């Protein structure tokens, strides 16, 4: 009974937040979603709040909510879309090492769960390839490609791109041979 009441309160708060957002009252929308997400165990309010933060280019607030919410932690470790969002946010605010850490945690989760869900692995590899292509340094690109290669050791595209990156760095040229 109490859970049902909690869900109804969240639904009302979410509806009020949507109305506030449509009326361009972003501050009220954010306050309603913050209040709702702090009282509810549901992901709905939290994910909506992340989306509002993204639309308002409040990237650090979105990162903070995604990383500190216990409710979203399981989702983050199992859903490549959430991993991609967090990686992209970290890259937007210039925190490339944090982006890399999120990817590594996701890889570790996949490796530790012995998951046979290849679509998650494929999505994660695609995400790493994109991150490598957007890297500021050759060393960052190499670390993304190496992580991708751990997940798909026979992927010829990853191997080729990694060789190209190694060729750009003098002290890695022996790895090519």
pTM confidence score? 0.61
Query: Which pLDDT does position 74 carry in this prediction?
Result: 61
Query: Which pLDDT does position 38 carry in this prediction?
Result: 73
Say which residues have a Cβ less than 8 Å from residue 56's Cβ, sequence separation at least 6: 26
Query: Which pLDDT does position 1 carry in this prediction?
Result: 52
Residues in the chain predicted with pLDDT less than 50, given as ranges, are 3, 177
For the residues of 18-86, what is the DSSP string, one character each?
Answer: HHHHHTT-HHHHHHHHHHHHHH---SHHHHHHHHHHHHTT-HHHHHHHHHH-HHHHHHHHH-HHHHHHH
Query: Which pLDDT does position 156 carry in this prediction?
Result: 92
| Cβ–Cβ < 8 Å for 76, 83 | yes
| Cβ–Cβ < 8 Å for 141, 98 | no
């Amino acid at each position: 009974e109490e859970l049902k009441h909690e869900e109804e309160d969240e639904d009302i708060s979410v509806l009020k937040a949507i109305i506030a957002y449509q009326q361009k009252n972003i501050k009220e929308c954010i306050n309603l979603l913050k209040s709702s997400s702090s009282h509810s165990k549901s992901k709905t309010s939290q994910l909506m709040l992340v989306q509002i933060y993204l639309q308002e280019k409040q990237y650090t607030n979105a990162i903070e909510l995604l990383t500190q919410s216990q409710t979203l932690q399981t989702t983050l470790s199992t859903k490549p879309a959430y991993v991609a969002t967090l990686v992209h946010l970290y890259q937007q605010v210039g925190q490339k090492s944090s982006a890399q850490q999120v990817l590594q945690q996701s890889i570790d989760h996949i490796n530790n769960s012995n998951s046979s869900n290849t679509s998650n692995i494929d999505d994660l590899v695609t995400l790493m390839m994109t991150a490598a292509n957007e890297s500021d340094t050759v060393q960052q690109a190499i670390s993304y490609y190496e992580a991708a290669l751990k997940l798909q050791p026979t992927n010829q595209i990853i191997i080729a791109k990694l060789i190209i990156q190694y060729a750009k760095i003098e002290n890695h040229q022996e790895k090519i041979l």
